[in-house]
Chain A
Amino acid sequence: MSSVPLPLPRSYLEEGFSLWSWLATIDHKRIAILYAISITLFFFAGGIAATLIRMELITPAGDLVSADTYNKLFTMHGVIMVWFFLIPSIPSTFGNFLVPLMIGARDLAFPRLNLASWYLYIAGGLFTVGALVAGGVDTGWTFYTPYSTMFSNTHVIAAVCGVFVVGFSSILTGMNFIVTIHKMRAPGMTWFRLPLFIWSMYATSIIFVLATPVLAMTLFLVAIERFAGVGVFDPALGGDPLLFQHLFWFYSHPAVYVMILPAMGVASEIITCYARKNIFAYRSMAFAVLAIAIVGFLVWGHHMFVSGQSIYAGMVFSILTFLVAIPSAIKVFNWTATLYKGSIRFDAPMLYLLGFVGLFTIGGMTGLFLASLALDVHLHDTYFVIAHFHYIMVGGSVMAFLGAVHYWWPKITGRLYPDRWARFAAITVFVGFNLTFFPQFLLGYLGMPRRYHEYPPEFQVLNVLSSAGASVLAAGYLLPLFYLLWSLRYGPRAGPNPWRATGLEWQTASPPPVTNFATIPVVTAPPYQYSPLEDARRG
């Protein structure tokens, strides 16, 4: 029968030191580290593309790179950032690391599948990098037909294959999380005792599992249509390009929520910890993430208001879009209310997450502008859209990702980082981000279209502002790389619970042992056992 060895006091990091012990690991914590390293590499690859884009746009003329190179740069930026950084970012690293720890399990339900999903991610990455090395792709990350199937002369099929493969990595991760959260919770860990991060992982997994296969099929059809010259998307072949757009956005709109839901989960963990206060309205927070995941599937047509879809479809999708705004608004209000009568500290993770709430609010509110039909007709495909989704994805997701890196760093590595530097980096990122992207809202309403290599001179002032901000933002992103790596060697040892947080993950050693817990904990209370009164008394 079962033969679980008694857990050794050795941490998961000391379990083996060879490369093979990492590449063949089935420990969820080690796989999380593998993901963390890979997505960081992709983040900086996508960041280099972004830097070149912003440098090109300093002058109205297309003088730094050629038009074709520019088109390949924004395609590379989009493909890498969406599929190889943002979508796997929090779920594959922190989700992998924390889901079993937070629910009191020894591992995910299917550890081998988990490793397979990392290898699929790498395989997809190799395809994509291959397409880039071989000469690039110029379709934009959206792969709109018939441009992608008939007219582009670049390596579309390889890029599409990369995204297809990485999609299966998402699907496997999602399956694993759903089963783990359902079946592997520690005794006493009822659904309403789950930390909100787990709820957000659950909602994210639903989207992974139900949306990604549609993308896979769509890209499959694109590849065949391009390869064989027969298909359903190109009007010249009797197809309909809007069919592609419907299928693509059925995935890609929920995918936006894949990027933001985990960030919301992180926000709930960190804000409660540093406000020393339990989350306001736990249940509505939990239901809100589920509502966002489900209603998020009903709104994809708002990407197509000027595409030539029927005006009735436009109106249905517009009204549904306003509905999905409500649970997001609830979350923002509840985080704010959580601060009320708290005992607030401003350590680096808290700064990142307060920044997240602010930027997400702006991103969300401008999303409502875009959901408004008559207004979207003007704003669609302008820099207003660019600014809006960067506020959500960079201002929202990346801020929360960085906050999570700092918050769980002692748990993952067992070391503390220099908080003063971290706070400085957080403020730099916040300032740099706003300098970069706020001018783009103005550019957008003035009418500057996206994906423009050159632009009329009247837009230059705002573009220069944006590019200047980007350099600040880049500095803000590079800083943590240095002090975090420094802390690996020189940082003071963190105890099991340096932040006096109340999740299960803080009840085991830092870094945790291979089997996570010496004995599986028994849960008797809801999450977030914080007391601001007591904390304030301690001073």
Chain B
Amino acid sequence: MAEAVIVARQFDDAEQQRRASDLGMWVFLATEILFFGGLFVAYTATRLHDPQAFATASRLTNVTLGSINTGVLLTSSLTMALAVRATKLGLRRASIGFLCATAALGIAFLGIKFTEYVRDWHERLVPVLNFAHVGPHAGGVETFFYLYFFTTGLHAIHLIIGIATVAVVATMAARRRFSPDYFTPVELTGLYWHLVDVVWIFLYPLLYLVART
């Protein structure tokens, strides 16, 4: 038997508590959108300012790894959605399995991303530390790579938090903490995970596909 739902003292019942948590999460996600939004505006302005540099720089990113990584992350969203579904249906083993798959895909994403960073390092594309690109738009290329490392880095930090949360939730699932009546932590983790995915969905064309022709 799953444990009884614990209702905090400020709430009337479990339903009110669940709805409050859902809304809280969505409001938090709106905040996240605006947080990354500031970065997108910086990107847009800088790109309009020096479009040629962004085209040049984007060609220097590794589109193969970037595209594979996008596929990995999209797949992790699928497993996350399935994990939430399994939890709601009370399928504990399936739920744990999908959560672990999600975390594994997240780690795979980070691994590929790390490989990319290493390549960028060898190609001397890391601003400040070893940037040595020469060419007609070197300054703008450096700015692009600054934004590239900043946005992907910030995204990676979000993903690491996501992986840690998924691990915690998976442990909770293993300890039979969830039931068809109580699955809020899984659901909220899922929402967060998908939003991190959505951020990447926009980053991918803006960083890798600026001018491939």
Q: How far is the CA of A232 from the CA of B147 in the complex (A)?
A: 9
The verdict on B39 contacting chain A, using a C-beta distance below 8 Å, is: yes
Q: Is the CB of B127 within 8 A of A110?
A: no
- Which of A110, A232, A246 counts the most chain B CB atoms within 10 A? A232
Q: How far is the CA of A108 from the CA of B39 in the complex (A)?
A: 32
- Of chain A, the residue at the smallest CB distance from B41 is A247
Q: How far is the CA of A178 from the CA of B22 in the complex (A)?
A: 12
- How distant is B53 from chain A, measured CB to nearest CB, in Å? 8
Asked if A228 meets B128 with Cβ closer than 8 Å, knowing A1-B7, A247-B42, the reply is: yes
- How distant is A32 from chain B, measured CB to nearest CB, in Å? 15
- How distant is B14 from chain A, measured CB to nearest CB, in Å? 8
Contacts of A209 in B (CB 8 A): 27, 30-31
* 5 shortest interchain CB distances as A-B pairs: A217-B38, A213-B35, A107-B10, A2-B7, A213-B34
Q: Is the CB of B45 within 8 A of A238?
A: no
Taking CB atoms and an 8 Å cut-off, the chain A residues in 206-247 that contact chain B are 209-214, 216-218, 221, 224, 228-232, 237-240, 243, 246-247
Q: Is the CB of B38 within 8 A of A214?
A: yes
- Of chain B, the residue at the smallest CB distance from A247 is B38
Q: How far is the CA of A397 from the CA of B8 in the complex (A)?
A: 35
Q: How far is the CA of A246 from the CA of B40 in the complex (A)?
A: 13
User: Which of A's residues lie within 8 Å of B, judged by CB?
Assistant: 1-2, 4, 100, 105-111, 171, 174-176, 178-180, 182-184, 209-214, 216-218, 221, 224, 228-232, 237-240, 243, 246-247, 515
- How distant is B21 from chain A, measured CB to nearest CB, in Å? 8
Q: How far is the CA of A184 from the CA of B2 in the complex (A)?
A: 27
- How distant is B196 from chain A, measured CB to nearest CB, in Å? 15
Q: Is the CB of B20 within 8 A of A184?
A: yes
Question: Of B27, B53, B128, which one neighbours A179 at CB under 8 angstroms?
Answer: B27
- Of chain A, the residue at the smallest CB distance from B34 is A213
User: Which of B's residues lie within 8 Å of A, judged by CB?
Assistant: 4-5, 7-11, 13-14, 16, 19-20, 23-24, 27-28, 30-32, 34-39, 41-42, 45-46, 49-50, 53, 127-128, 139-140, 142-143, 146-147, 150
Q: How far is the CA of A202 from the CA of B11 in the complex (A)?
A: 20
Q: Is the CB of A109 within 8 A of B10?
A: yes
Q: How far is the CA of A232 from the CA of B40 in the complex (A)?
A: 12
Q: Is the CB of A2 within 8 A of B23?
A: no
Question: Of B23, B45, B128, which one neighbours A232 at CB under 8 angstroms?
Answer: B45
- Of chain B, the residue at the smallest CB distance from A1 is B4
- Which of B4, B5, B23 counts the most chain A CB atoms within 10 A? B23
Q: Is the CB of B10 within 8 A of A106?
A: yes
Q: Is the CB of A221 within 8 A of B20?
A: no
Contacts of B28 in A (CB 8 A): 175
Contacts of B36 in A (CB 8 A): 217
Asked if A214 meets B35 with Cβ closer than 8 Å, knowing A183-B16, A183-B23, the reply is: yes
Q: Could you count the A-B residue pairs with CB atoms below 8 Å apart for me: how many are there? A: 119
Q: How far is the CA of A174 from the CA of B34 in the complex (A)?
A: 14
Asked if A239 meets B9 with Cβ closer than 8 Å, knowing A183-B23, A214-B35, the reply is: no
Chain A to chain B contacts (Cβ below 8 Å), 5 pairs: A184-B11, A184-B16, A213-B35, A213-B38, A246-B41
Contacts of B146 in A (CB 8 A): 230-232
Contacts of B31 in A (CB 8 A): 171, 175, 209-210, 212-213
Contacts of B147 in A (CB 8 A): 232
- How distant is B34 from chain A, measured CB to nearest CB, in Å? 4
Contacts of B37 in A (CB 8 A): 213-214, 217
Q: Is the CB of A183 within 8 A of B41?
A: no
Q: Is the CB of A230 within 8 A of B142?
A: yes
Q: Is the CB of B24 within 8 A of A109?
A: yes
Q: How far is the CA of A213 from the CA of B37 in the complex (A)?
A: 9
Q: How far is the CA of A2 from the CA of B16 in the complex (A)?
A: 12
Q: Is the CB of B20 within 8 A of A239?
A: no
Q: Is the CB of B9 within 8 A of A4?
A: yes
Q: Is the CB of B143 within 8 A of A224?
A: no
Q: How far is the CA of A106 from the CA of B12 in the complex (A)?
A: 9
Q: How far is the CA of A109 from the CA of B23 in the complex (A)?
A: 11
Tell me the dominant secondary structure on chain B's binding face: helix
Q: How far is the CA of A378 from the CA of B64 in the complex (A)?
A: 55
Q: Is the CB of B10 within 8 A of A108?
A: yes
Q: Is the CB of B10 within 8 A of A111?
A: yes
Q: How far is the CA of A109 from the CA of B37 in the complex (A)?
A: 27
Contacts of A111 in B (CB 8 A): 8, 10
Asked if A238 meets B27 with Cβ closer than 8 Å, knowing A107-B10, A232-B42, the reply is: no
Q: How far is the CA of A229 from the CA of B139 in the complex (A)?
A: 12
Q: Is the CB of A237 within 8 A of B10?
A: no
Q: How far is the CA of A238 from the CA of B143 in the complex (A)?
A: 8
- Of chain A, the residue at the smallest CB distance from B50 is A238
Contacts of B34 in A (CB 8 A): 210-211, 213-214
- How distant is B172 from chain A, measured CB to nearest CB, in Å? 18
Given contacts A107-B10, A228-B127, could you give 4 more A-B pairs where the C-beta distance is less than 8 Å?
A1-B4, A175-B28, A184-B20, A240-B45
Q: How far is the CA of A243 from the CA of B5 in the complex (A)?
A: 49
Q: How far is the CA of A209 from the CA of B32 in the complex (A)?
A: 9
- Of chain B, the residue at the smallest CB distance from A520 is B12
Q: Is the CB of B24 within 8 A of A175?
A: yes
Contacts of B13 in A (CB 8 A): 2
Q: Is the CB of A217 within 8 A of B35?
A: yes
Q: How far is the CA of A236 from the CA of B190 in the complex (A)?
A: 43
Contacts of A175 in B (CB 8 A): 24, 27-28, 31
Q: Is the CB of A230 within 8 A of B127?
A: yes
- How distant is B185 from chain A, measured CB to nearest CB, in Å? 14
Asked if A210 meets B30 with Cβ closer than 8 Å, knowing A1-B4, A229-B128, the reply is: yes
- How distant is A255 from chain B, measured CB to nearest CB, in Å? 14
Q: How far is the CA of A4 from the CA of B17 in the complex (A)?
A: 14
Q: Is the CB of B143 within 8 A of A232?
A: yes
- How distant is A148 from chain B, measured CB to nearest CB, in Å? 16
Contacts of A213 in B (CB 8 A): 31-32, 34-35, 37-38
Q: How far is the CA of A178 from the CA of B37 in the complex (A)?
A: 21
Contacts of B139 in A (CB 8 A): 237-238
Contacts of B41 in A (CB 8 A): 243, 246-247
Contacts of B30 in A (CB 8 A): 209-210
